[in-house]
Amino acid sequence: MDRYYKFTVPEIKEKERIDKYITRFVENASRTKVQKAINLGNVLVNGEYVKSNYLLKPNDEIEIELPVPDKQDILPENIPLDIIYEDDYLLIINKPSGMVTHPAYKNYSGTLVNALMYYSMQSKGSLSDLNGFERAGIVHRLDKDTSGILVVAKDEVTHRKLADQFFKHSIEREYMAIVWGKFKNKQGIIENRISRDKRNRKKMTVTNSGDNGKIAITEYNVIEEYEFLSLVNLKLRTGRTHQIRVHLSSSGHPVFGDEMYGGRVPHSVNLTANMKLQINNLLEMMSRQALHARLLSFIHPHSKEEMQFISDLPEDMLKIINIVKN
């Protein structure tokens, strides 16, 4: 089974090799994988085969097929899991930051799926194969550097019923984030359209209503304010890729530490020398985006009971808060 991508090159100022360009635009695609796909004839530009050194021009239309990992590439690994809850149908995992949710290019090991495979093997349990072996049990995902709660399905029936709740947005999800600056309104709703960034396919961006983006809605509520940061609670009404990170960045309050969306640059014009020094020290301590999936609430697919799970703020975020409080 292959994954298919098709996109058009924007108005680029400098010509760039196609193999290098694709690795920037396709998530987790290594240059070696891309070059292999080109050599196998799985990459077309304007309907024609090209070589790896082909120099792209504006409006070139690229089509690419990349293979998913083989089963032998994904192995069970003895990685400790923080299991909050488990029954015959599902698991609730508290995922640490730095752990990729499922295997993909460059990340065949060390993922949550590798850990789940080992745990399932040891406990003689099962994992849903609804989304393929490389996403065994995974109903939804968190970004690598986002910590917090995930639900894992043990069978396909459970998986489908949970996925349906996600699709209908009936699952309640709350996040906590440390963000730059202070909000003018202490609570509100951010609503707009989100789509892939045309210049960097690994990023998402807010688009105009006339574009092909998908509606994204995030509720926010400021919990505490500090000198140049704020602690914010966020509720997802929709579940778009990077939604919270894009919404906060577009509102002028990027998640602290978020390199992709401007969170490693101070967002204040009134910073003293001491504040700049403190910020640099804090950024060294927080090597990821300060975003945590705090709460997950849903109806159990079989018992029909309402289930709610909460994960406390992780140590790295608490450390930042304690420092800026003082």
What SS3 string covers 9-72?
CCCCCCCCEHHHHHHHHCCCCCHHHHHHHHHCCCEEECCEECCCCCECCCCCEEEEEEECCCHH
Q: Is 21:56 a contact under the CB 8 Å cutoff?
A: yes
- From the candidates 19, 60, 87, 143, which is the catalytic residue? 143
- Residue 189's nearest CA partner among 160, 210, 154, 220 is 220
The reply to whether 87 belongs to the active site is no
* Cβ–Cβ < 8 Å for 112, 263: no
Q: What's the token pair of residue 274? A: 């001491």
In the structure encoding, which two tokens stand for residue 140, read together?
């939804």
Residue 158, CA distances (Å) to 128, 166, 238, 272, 279 in order: 8, 13, 21, 54, 45
Say how far apart CA 113 and CA 133 lie, in whole Å. Answer: 9
Are residues 263 and 270 in contact, defined by beta-carbon separation less than 8 angstroms? no
Let me know: does 152 contact 90? Beta carbons within 8 Å.
yes
- Torsion-angle region of residue 16: left (phi > 0), alpha (psi -120 to 50) or beta? beta
Q: Specify the long-range contacts of residues 233-237, CB closer than 8 Å, at least 24 apart.
A: 233/174, 233/175, 233/176, 233/294, 234/174, 234/175, 234/176, 234/177, 235/172, 235/173, 235/174, 235/175, 236/173, 236/175, 237/169
Task: Round to whole Å and give the CA distance between 226 and 78.
Answer: 41
- Distance (Å, rounded) from C-alpha 66 to C-alpha 38? 10
List the alpha helices (DSSP H) in 252-310. 273-285
- Residue positions annotated with a catalytic role: 143
